[in-house]
């Protein structure tokens, strides 16, 4: 190669393209989640019919200009029930995950700070709950408590907090060994202040990612329990029970298909949002 020969280097990819490729799914997931949140808030205003209004004459009607997503076995408008069902499904998911995270984080942080006998007792109890498959244990508890959205949420809470307790304990143990925590202890700060001002803020990232990813899982689990008949009490509109109502209606595919698509989109939205949040909070990935 001569001294005058020019070596052409590939042009650097624009920054916006890199960000779009990296965070595009996260933005799409955020849009899906935001859309369903707006639907849940505005369901009473945007629903074309009352969710429980029956029209036996037009039962199992195909999607048309009158009923955009068709009607079910009782002639109820599928679109209206789908929109109102978003309220209960999203509310159940947020309630289970937020309360489960609060309980689990409290248990994990207390165990990491106390150590000794308290740590052993709390973690062995956590392991005991983790020994059972979550859906099976929730199914058993929901069956014992009885049918109802409140009982189903309570049953899910029993099995939902251990994963947060495990992660919070591991993160708190790492932060407790840091020099700034030792310095705060030497200065005589109370444990509750050290936990609230120093340890918990530095464990926010991984816990926030787990919380976001778990929202879709909680909605899917609640829908699964409702599908098995342990969720809501009829005729309350809920996505899992709507799928159950149409599981044997092969020719009337719209009864189960559209609620199933609603569950799919909200779960995918939270998964994309959680993955994007994880990449954004990771300094190695964010610096690329």
Cα angle value 251/253/255 (rounded, 5°): 120
Residue 148 and residue 233 in contact, taking contact as beta carbons nearer than 8 Å: yes
- Collapsing DSSP to helix, strand or coil, 77 comes out as strand
Average pLDDT of every residue of the chain? 84
User: Residue 17 pLDDT > 80, yes or no?
Assistant: no
Look at residue 2 and tell me whether its pLDDT is greater than 70: no
The predicted-structure confidence for 138-171, as pLDDT tens digits, reads as follows 888 888 888 888 899 999 999 999 999 999 999 8
Chain position carrying tokens 């595919």: 253
Give residue 215's pLDDT: 93
Q: How far is CA 118 from the centre of its chain?
A: 30
Of 102, 119, 142, 109, give the one whose Cα is nearest residue 225. Answer: 142
Q: Is the pLDDT of residue 284 over 80?
A: no
Question: What distance in Å separates the CA atoms of residue 165 and residue 211, rounded to the nearest whole number?
Answer: 12
214 pLDDT higher than 70: yes
Q: What pLDDT does 23 receive?
A: 66
Q: Please give the share of the chain, as a percent, with pLDDT higher than 70.
A: 88
pLDDT recorded at residue 15: 59
Question: Which residue segments constitute the domains of the chain, with CATH numbers given?
Answer: 70-282 (1.10.3720.10)
The whole-number average pLDDT for the span 171-191 is 75
Give CA–CA dist 126/120, Å, rounded: 10
**Residue 116 contacts by C-beta under 8 Å, 6 or more apart in sequence?**
none
Query: Is residue 198 within 8 Å of residue 175, measured between CB atoms?
Result: yes
The residue-averaged pLDDT of 176-191 equals 72
Question: Tokens in use for 261?
Answer: 């698509």
Contact 266, 90 (CB under 8 A): yes
Which tens digits make up the pLDDT trace of 109-140? 888 888 788 889 999 999 988 888 888 888 88
**Mind listing the pLDDT tens digit for each residue in 67-80?**
999 999 999 999 99
Indicate the pLDDT class of residue 234, thresholds 50, 70 and 90.
Answer: confident
pLDDT greater than 90 at residue 45:
yes
Contact 39, 86 (CB under 8 A): yes
Between CA 227 and CA 23 the distance in angstroms is: 34
**Tokens 């052993």 identify what position?**
120
What is the band of 22 on the pLDDT scale with cuts at 50, 70, 90?
low
What ranges make up the beta strands (E) of 4-118?
Answer: none
């Amino acid at each position: 190669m001569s001294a005058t020969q020019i070596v052409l280097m590939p042009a650097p990819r624009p920054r916006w393209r890199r960000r779009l490729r990296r965070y595009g799914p996260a933005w799409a997931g955020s849009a899906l989640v935001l859309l369903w949140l707006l639907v849940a808030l505005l369901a009473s205003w945007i629903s074309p019919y009352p969710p429980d209004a029956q029209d036996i004459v037009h039962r199992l009607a195909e999607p048309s200009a009158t009923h955009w997503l068709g009607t079910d076995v009782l002639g109820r408008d599928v679109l209206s029930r789908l929109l109102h069902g978003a309220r209960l499904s999203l509310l159940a998911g947020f309630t289970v995950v937020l309360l489960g995270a609060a309980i689990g984080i409290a248990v994990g942080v207390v165990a990491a700070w106390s150590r000794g006998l308290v740590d052993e007792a709390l973690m062995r109890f956590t392991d005991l709950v983790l020994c059972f498959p979550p859906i099976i244990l929730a199914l058993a508890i929901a069956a014992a408590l009885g049918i109802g959205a409140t009982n189903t949420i309570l049953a899910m809470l029993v099995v939902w907090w251990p994963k947060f307790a495990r992660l919070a304990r591991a993160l708190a143990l790492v932060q407790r060994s840091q020099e700034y925590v030792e310095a705060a202890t030497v200065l005589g700060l109370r444990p509750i202040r050290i936990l609230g001002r120093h340890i918990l803020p530095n464990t926010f990232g991984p816990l926030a990612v787990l919380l976001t990813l778990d929202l879709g899982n909680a909605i899917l689990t609640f829908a699964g329990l409702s599908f098995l008949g342990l969720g809501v009490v009829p005729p309350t509109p809920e996505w899992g029970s709507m799928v159950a109502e149409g599981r044997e209606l092969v020719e009337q595919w719209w009864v189960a298909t559209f609620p199933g698509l609603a569950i799919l989109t909200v779960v995918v939205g939270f998964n994309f949002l959680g993955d994007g949040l994880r990449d954004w909070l990771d300094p190695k990935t964010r610096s690329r």
